[in-house]
Amino acid sequence: MTTTPTPRIEASAEASAEEYLRLDNQICFSLNAASRAFNSVYRVVLKDLGLTYPQYLVMLVLWEHGELPVKKLGEHLRLDSGTLSPLLKRLEAAGLVRRERSTQDERSVHVHLTEEGTALKEHALLVPRRIAAATGFDLDEITELRARLDRLTLALDAAALEETPGCA
């Protein structure tokens, strides 16, 4: 024999379920709001360098790895070439990078730092400290948050692969 839940329990369960639909309870909204707030702080901090936040990310990868094919640069940044190409064009117009076709593979374009792009690194050294100070977190909290976000990204990437047709 099946029993029907009492209206009180049912109403309580509905109320709890509806709580999950509140905007303030959405992790995606919290992450998006934090991202937008970061972008606002970066806009101010990067103004002196003449870089936007996406351009700064490109420069970080090039300062760390040196010359890279556009494809590899996109992998580091999780960006496709359609998004990356306009960024690289603007950085090239600013004299910070140079793009060259590979002599071994005409389809591959390599990105190099110019002298000016390399020199900009010295001016960028204070950026991480200014951003960290803006968070109000200490180094351990920042390290822990980054590790949790990395774990979240891996979990979401895996979940997205499971949902993609044709993927196992």
Domain residue limits, the chain: 38-135, 137-168
| DSSP one-letter string for 10-48 | HHHHHHHHHHTTSGGG-HHHHHHHHHHHHHHHHHHHHGG
Q: What is the pTM of this model?
A: 0.82
- Quick one: pLDDT at residue 90? 97
Q: So what CATH class is 38-135? A: mainly alpha
The pLDDT mean for the chain works out to 89
In terms of pLDDT, which residue wins out, 165 or 137? 137
With a cut of 60, say whether residue 11 has pLDDT above it. Answer: no
